[in-house]
Copies of this chain bind each other. A is one copy, B any other.
């Protein structure tokens, strides 16, 4: 039950991506590398559009479709996962072989915090089994008010200080 740290080894993830590409006889291209690296570097929680903006810092000619297609590849090989927190467009997050995590989302400032709790995971498995299901994956999102949104002094709803990067906002 602690916040997962979220700056995994980008190079290793890139390597996994390249492995996947060559296994599938697909090609590593400049665009894919830029997109994937930027994506991994943020630790995830990016919309297509946000990622496009980042990628274009490096190569302004990159188009929407390439970002979509690259994220689809990353999703296929398990290095990214698509999410839909609220309305509008999808959010992608890194989903490397690292441990699973769930989300705690502030409904005031949209700050997204990741956490993992083994006890909950265990119970989920138990519930699924009790219905005869074989649990494959799950999605848990907790929505509430973060300390700052509740007006607690010293509370650290990181919207202002952290918006630029690091832990990411999910909805914008």
Binding site for B on A (CB under 8 A): 1, 3, 84, 104, 106-107, 113, 115, 117, 119-120, 123-124, 127-128, 130-147, 150, 152, 155-156
Contact = CB atoms under 8 A, between A and B. Distances in A.
A128 to B, nearest CB: 5
Given A124-B120, A127-B104, A140 B143 contact: no
A123 B156 CA distance: 22
Nearest to A134: B145
17 contacts: A1-B127, A104-B128, A115-B127, A115-B131, A120-B120, A120-B124, A124-B140, A132-B150, A132-B156, A133-B144, A133-B145, A133-B146, A134-B144, A138-B140, A138-B142, A139-B139, A139-B141
Nearest to A124: B142
B132 A152 contact: yes
State the number of copies, please.
2
Contacts of A133: 104, 106, 113, 142, 144-147
Nearest to A2: B130
Contacts of A113: 131, 133
B136 A144 contact: yes
A18 to B, nearest CB: 27
